[in-house]
Amino acid sequence: MYYVCSDLTNEWEELDDVKPSQLIAARKVTYTFTGDLNKKIITNPHFPGLEKDYLRCQIARITHNTTIIPLTPAVNGKLPQWKVNPESKREMEKNDEATPVRIQEAINIKNWVHFIPGLLKEGRTVHMEREAPEGVDPEDFKKQIENKDKFDDLLAPIENDMKLTSSIPNIKIPAWKLQFMYDDKVYINPNIKVDLESDPEQKKDNTVNYTIVCLKSLRWPGAIVVRFRGEILNFYFGWGKKFCDTGMDEKFVFKDFQTIQTDQDEYDTFPEPNSPPQELEKVQEGGDPVAD
């Protein structure tokens, strides 16, 4: 559930659940929010809803694309915290015997993965149940639908995300950027006592590291993921717009302004109407008129 307001002195309003038809339409239009939740959106193609419905669609799109976690690589006997269920292949299950994520692994972008399923083209996370036509096997019909609108891989590395197209020829922009402020020291919390005899597997961790890891989504400018002291925080500060550089004839490339030429000096080519006779004679002779 999401609650929104355009003025902190007013009451918060709960947004309705997102509808697949609205998600499909939201992917085809670009709209700038005004702050009026009940404002009717006039776009082409048509969006079936108000501004609050479009806001809910953008929240869903950003959430499903930018919710990520660090995962321990499964090498040298290490076990990741999450794994895909080998039977269903569409469900994740937590590994209780997992190896904790080390800070050296968290500062490597190769170890960050998507945590929640992506949105399908039909605006859902799973395909809508449809009745198979007569004479068609239901399982074959289901596979045909899944092949037309394929699922995203679960726990897919963010490094494999499709790169962004730039207005600069032959330049591709990565979907994510990672930055960190590294602290190589590990501090011990004296308030947490660890007894190796009673807890040989060391499930209690009395150590802490103050490295700050920050990942920025370049596909959704303004979406930021921060990992600090083992916790992950998601922030978004933006206009709810996807990265756009060359699509829809919009080029967000800064250019210098054209040189503005100075105005030329004005001069009299004809005498003013109702001019005195003496001024008219001087203008006809080529001299400057003299004002009284």
Q: Which range is most confident: 147-161, 239-253, 272-286?
A: 147-161
Q: pLDDT tens across 226-241, in order?
A: 999 889 999 999 999 9
When mean pLDDT is compared across 6-20, 53-67, 150-164, 247-261, the lowest value belongs to: 247-261
Element housing 65 (H / E) = helix 51-66
Angle at 70 between CA 73 and CA 158, to 5 degrees: 90
User: How far is the C-alpha of 257 from the C-alpha of 245, rounded, in Å?
Assistant: 20
> HSE on the CB side for 90, CA within 13 Å?
8
Identity of residue 1: M
Average pLDDT, the chain: 84
Q: Is 258 a residue whose pLDDT tops 50?
A: yes
Answer with the residue of higher pLDDT: 24 or 277: 24
Say whether 13 sits in a helix, a strand or coil. Answer: strand
User: How far is the C-alpha of 289 from the C-alpha of 276, rounded, in Å?
Assistant: 10
Question: Domain ranges in the chain?
Answer: 1-66, 71-127+140-248
Asked if 14 and 1 count as a contact pair (C-beta separation under 8 A), the reply is yes
Kindly write down the DSSP assignment for every residue of 135-167, as one continuous string.
TS-HHHHHHHHHHHSPPPPTT-BGGGSPPEEPS
Asked if 119 and 60 count as a contact pair (C-beta separation under 8 A), the reply is yes
Look at strands 68-70 and 82-84 and give their pairing: unpaired
- pLDDT (mean) for 138-163: 92
Share of the chain above pLDDT 70, in %: 82
**In this predicted structure, what is the pLDDT of residue 24?**
95
- pLDDT (mean) for 35-49: 92
Nearest to 213 by CA among 65, 108, 101: 108
Confidence of residue 287 (pLDDT cuts 50, 70, 90): low
- pLDDT (mean) for 253-278: 67
Confidence of residue 201 (pLDDT cuts 50, 70, 90): low
**In this predicted structure, what is the pLDDT of residue 75?**
81
**In this predicted structure, what is the pLDDT of residue 68?**
96
User: How far is the C-alpha of 7 from the C-alpha of 11, rounded, in Å?
Assistant: 8
Q: pLDDT tens across 81-130, in order?
A: 898 888 777 888 888 888 888 888 999 999 999 999 999 999 999 999 88
The dihedral through the CA atoms of 245, 19, 125, 4 has a sign that is positive
Give pTM, 2 decimals: 0.76
Answer with the residue of higher pLDDT: 212 or 230: 212
Element housing 42 (H / E) = none
Residue 140 CA to chain centroid, in angstroms? 36
Residue partners of 214: CB distance under 8 A and separation at least 6:
178, 179, 180, 224, 225, 226, 227
**In this predicted structure, what is the pLDDT of residue 253?**
45
Q: Provide the β-strand partners of residue 3.
A: 14
Answer with the residue of higher pLDDT: 203 or 19: 19
User: How far is the C-alpha of 128 from the C-alpha of 121, rounded, in Å?
Assistant: 11
Confidence of residue 250 (pLDDT cuts 50, 70, 90): very low
Answer with the residue of higher pLDDT: 196 or 163: 163
Q: Provide the β-strand partners of residue 234.
A: 225
Asked if 275 and 284 count as a contact pair (C-beta separation under 8 A), the reply is no
**In this predicted structure, what is the pLDDT of residue 163?**
92
Confidence of residue 198 (pLDDT cuts 50, 70, 90): low
Asked if 251 and 167 count as a contact pair (C-beta separation under 8 A), the reply is yes
User: How far is the C-alpha of 165 from the C-alpha of 252, rounded, in Å?
Assistant: 12
Confidence of residue 206 (pLDDT cuts 50, 70, 90): confident
